[in-house]
Amino acid sequence: MTWIQREIRLQPRVRGFHLITREVLVNLPEIAEVEVGLLHLLIQHTSASLALNENADPSVRMDMEAYFSRLAPENEPYYTHTYEGSDDMPAHLKAVLLGGSLTLPITRGRLNLGAWQGIYLCEHRNYGGARRLIATINGEG
């Protein structure tokens, strides 16, 4: 049984839903040595989240951003946590709704995702900066 844990620092991105599958895999070459196992990803931030969704059509990511921006709009009069900017409290709400972690199967040295699935960084701040993931691989070679 193998355990590997590593921090992955993602490049900064603007607000939106960003496909990061390739960036994650480049930072985890050990996945190729795992016959069966799991990859757990945790984002170490409270104003961004992770999701698994459509990897082919970029319009899905644009529609996701439009929907979540309507679901948790900026400048609501009932927000009290406002000192970090008008995008901050909505970012926290979106992060709670979408979640901060993913657990994905590894099969024969590859992530065992559906044909149209990819890992999203859901950046909920206008300029969130570089985000950190903790990646934990558990499996057998």
Residue in this structure with the two tokens 């355990």, named with its chain if needed: 3
Fold of the domain built from segment(s) 2-140: Jelly Rolls (2.60.120)
Domains of the chain, by residue range, sit at: 2-140
pLDDT for 20:
98
Contact 135, 24 (CB under 8 A): yes
- For range 121-135, the mean pLDDT: 97
Residue 1 has pLDDT above 90, yes or no: no
pTM: 0.96
Q: pLDDT of 47-70, one tens digit each?
A: 999 999 999 999 999 999 999 999
Q: Do residues 84 and 7 make contact, with C-beta atoms less than 8 angstroms apart? A: no
Distance between CA atoms of 15 and 73, rounded to whole angstroms? Answer: 13
